[in-house]
Amino acid sequence: MIRGIHHVAVHVHDMERMIRFYKDAFGFEVVGEPFSWEKDDFVDRIVAVKGSASKGAMLRAGSCYMELFQYSAPKPNNTKGLDPFDKGYTHFCVDVTDIGFEFERLKGLGMTFPEPEPINVGHVITIYGRDPEGNLIEIQETIDSKCDFPLDCLTPISKKAK
């Protein structure tokens, strides 16, 4: 039986900087001891990467966990954050209560956004942005309290654009 998603993992280039960012931006705290490995066949089997070397930390905010990795081997295939249309996990979303305030606060902490303000979709106000290393994060404020995410609350975006 699936109980729910436990954590999201993000590869970062500067572990200490990104721990500070996620702590200041979203209230994450490091749980447990930071960890590392190198030349460890057992861990290589777990992460399915031969010859891997990394340090990492598990962070928690409420019931949400985020695991940060900073690999030193092998070198990454991609050194920038993914775009929404790239293959793979491209972003996570944080639901907030005052998106205007959070938008400005997060900009002050180093997030960048492609739009001058969040966009009202109808059931949510939302915007995608990038953390200081370019990883994609969506910020949303749910407008309709009956619509945490039921599909019947969704209006096709194409109708909103008209």
pLDDT by residue for the chain (162 residues), tens digit each? 667 778 999 999 999 999 999 999 999 999 999 999 999 999 999 999 999 999 999 999 988 999 999 999 999 888 888 898 988 888 999 989 999 999 999 999 999 999 999 999 888 899 999 999 999 999 999 887 655 544 445 444 444 444
| Dihedral of alpha carbons 66, 69, 70, 75, sign | negative
Q: How far is CA 33 from the centre of its chain?
A: 21
**Residue written as tokens 């930071």?**
34
Question: Where do the domains of the chain lie, and which CATH numbers do they carry?
Answer: 1-76 (3.10.180.10), 78-147 (3.10.180.10)
Phi, psi (rounded to 5 degrees) for 112: -120, 145
